[in-house]
Amino acid sequence: MLPVLLGEMVRYMLEKTLVKHRDSINTLAFSHDGSLFASGADDGLIIVFQGNGSGQEIRRFQVKAPVTTLLWHSRFGYTVVAGDACGDVHTLCLEGSTNVSVSYDCIWSTLKIHHF
């Protein structure tokens, strides 16, 4: 949605609808520079999208429980930290190729996406 100034009031206009999740979205977070955003939902999906009006899906990551929290960590490039309803924490590191690795052996699972 884009803000539209009307006198003292601000109204938002819907510009685009993205339909990717199969269940309710619980959290949405934008990268520090606005070039990416991620959504997390009850379906256990974390989906990363291109920002700045594009809305193109970049990658998706499936966890075993509903996603309750997302946070972009700007000190490590494009890294998303996600929490789920089971109390697990997941890190998604987006870097520069197409290698993907996922570990479910412990509380921390890591997905490395090299894509830019």
Q: What are phi and psi of 92, to 5 degrees?
A: -120, 115
Tens of each residue's pLDDT in the chain, 116 residues: 555 556 667 777 777 777 888 888 899 999 888 889 999 999 999 999 998 888 899 899 999 999 999 999 877 778 888 999 998 899 888 875 333 334 444 444 444 444 44
Domain that holds residue 70: 20-114
Provide Rg for the chain, Cα atoms. Answer: 15
Q: Which pLDDT value is given to residue 7? A: 63
For 43: left if phi > 0, alpha if psi spans -120 to 50, otherwise beta; the answer is: alpha
Residue 51 tokens read as 């920002």
Domain-embedded: residue 10: no
Domain-embedded: residue 8: no
How many domains does the chain contain in total? 1
- To which residue do tokens 């929490």 refer? 83
Domain-embedded: residue 14: no
Domain-embedded: residue 7: no
Domain-embedded: residue 107: yes
Contacting residues for 84 by C-beta, under 8 A, at least 6 apart: 44, 63, 64, 65, 66, 67, 68, 90
Domain-embedded: residue 13: no
Domain-embedded: residue 38: yes
How many alpha carbons fall within 13 Å on the CB side of residue 84? Answer: 20
Domain-embedded: residue 12: no
- 82 in Cβ contact with 89 (< 8 Å): yes
